[in-house]
Amino acid sequence: MPKVTEEDVVQIEIKIDEEKCVGCGTCIEVCPVQLLELKKVDGKKKTSAPDQSFCLKCHMCEFHCGYEAIKVYPPFEGQQPTDQAKAPMRHRHDH
Ligand code: SF4
Ligand code: SF4
């Protein structure tokens, strides 16, 4: 995993493609800091990230979304996610 500096945290951006998002809530469930939430857009549920400042840049939301609707920038620079990386976050308290 790349080293996370304060600069990285400031520069993070979570982009949600509302065309692709089906509001399944998977990303919300896997986010370890619960910063994602559902909002209604034209009567349909969509994920939103009202406050991205405390994002850990763990990319769990991105890895678990089955619709490629959520992306975290800067992009994940490590290896492709392994089964371990996809494990519940209780195994990954490295912050
Ligand atoms: S996992 Fe993907 S499709 Fe499901 S709510 Fe999150 S962004 Fe939308
Ligand atoms: S990258 Fe991690 S901390 Fe940031 S919104 Fe996605 S799941 Fe949550």
Domain ranges of the chain: 6-79
- Per-residue pLDDT tens for 66-90? 999 999 998 888 765 555 555 555 5
- Per-residue pLDDT tens for 3-12? 776 665 557 8
Indicate if ligand 2 lies below 6 Å from the C-beta of 16.
no
Could you please state the CATH topology (level 3) that the domain comprising 6-79 is classified under: Alpha-Beta Plaits (3.30.70)
Rounded distance from Cα 28 to ligand 1 centre (Å): 8
pTM exceeds 0.85 for this model: no
pLDDT of residue 62: 97
pLDDT of residue 76: 86
DSSP per residue, the chain: -PPP-HHHHHH-EEEE-TTT-----HHHHH-TT---EEEEETTEEEEE-S--TT-----HHHHH-TTS-EEEESPP-SSSP-TTTTS-GGG----
- Per-residue pLDDT tens for 3-60? 776 665 557 899 999 999 999 999 999 999 999 999 999 999 999 999 999 999 999 9
Q: Look at ligand 1, atom 6, and give the residue with the nearest C-alpha.
A: 27
